[in-house]
Amino acid sequence: MKTILYVGWALSLIDLTDILEVILILIIYAHPYPEKSLVNQAMLERVSSNPDIVIRSLYDLYPDFNIDVEAEQRAVDQAQLLVLQHPMYWYSSPPLLKLWIDKVFTHGWAYGKGSVALKDKSLLWAVTTGGEHDHFQIGDHPGFSVLAQPLHATAIYCNMRWLNPVVVHGAYAAAPDSLHSQIEHYYARLASWKED
Ligand SMILES: Cc1cc2nc3c(=O)[nH]c(=O)nc-3n(C[C@H](O)[C@H](O)[C@H](O)COP(=O)(O)O)c2cc1C
């Protein structure tokens, strides 16, 4: 079976069966305009040198929003760490990621009696924002402990281990040094996620 995977900065055709045994970290990437991305693209380029990582770019795989649920569940089955990476859109995710969760996290697989597919896997939310860090301080706009609640609750409901989110702030205006260090932090978190 040939499945389009997003590997680093190039779209490649890879036989999924070749990598079934080696996926430790699965990044589900949801950027509606991947070719226009700066920050998420830089993050993927940085982490793609980690051989444990497989990236699935939802908007490249499913431009028609017709998600192949079985293929997605097979990919998740192989991973120990599931990363949901996307730009923040209206304090939430782009719509295809929400649809992906709705479709892929099925009753009897993700939750419900006897469901073990996600049990003890880790979930990491990796999100980029236009807003700077202080935009999200409580009292101004809701902070990340609030914004993360739907995903955090989903992780708990599916018996997953919730990791502290990675947030890359200031996508438009941050100084290059700041973006660079935030992206390095993302790389380091993925390299050492088992210690979280
Ligand atoms: C439709 C839309 C909604 C957005 N909503 C938010 C938001 O709620 N909060 C925020 O900080 N940034 C928001 N942004 C800014 C994006 O998060 C930002 O463009 C993105 O993180 C940059 O990443 P990229 O270079 O990979 O595209 C929004 C952008 C768009 C286009």
Q: What is the pLDDT along the chain (196 residues), one digit of tens a residue?
A: 233 454 444 444 454 544 555 579 999 999 999 999 999 999 999 999 999 999 999 999 999 999 999 999 999 999 999 999 999 999 999 999 999 999 999 999 999 999 999 999 999 999 999 998 888 887 778 889 899 999 999 999 999 999 999 999 999 888 889 899 999 999 999 999 988 8
- Binding site membership for FMN: which residues? 31, 37-40, 88-91, 128-131
Atom of ligand 1 nearest to the CA of 41: 26
- For residue 86, the number of C-alpha atoms closer than 13 Å in the C-beta half-sphere is 23
CA of 87 to the centre of ligand 1 (A): 5
Atom of ligand 1 nearest to the CA of 87: 21
Residue closest by Cα to atom 18 of ligand 1: 130
CA of 39 to the centre of ligand 1 (A): 10
Atom of ligand 1 nearest to the CA of 33: 27
CB-based pocket (< 6 A), ligand 1: 31, 37-40, 87-91, 128-131, 171
Closest CA to 86 of 36, 27, 45, 131: 27
What CATH number corresponds to the domain at position 106? Answer: 3.40.50.360
**Residue 70: which domain range?**
2-195
What Cα–Cα distance (Å) separates residue 102 from each residue in 12, 56, 67, 107?
Answer: 27, 17, 10, 10
Question: Residues 119-134, buried b or exposed e (16+ Cβ, 10 A)?
Answer: eebbbbbbbbbebeee
The model carries a pTM of 0.90
Q: How many domains does the chain fold into?
A: 1
Q: Can you tell me the distance from the alpha carbon of 80 to that of 26, in angstroms, rounded to the nearest whole number?
A: 8
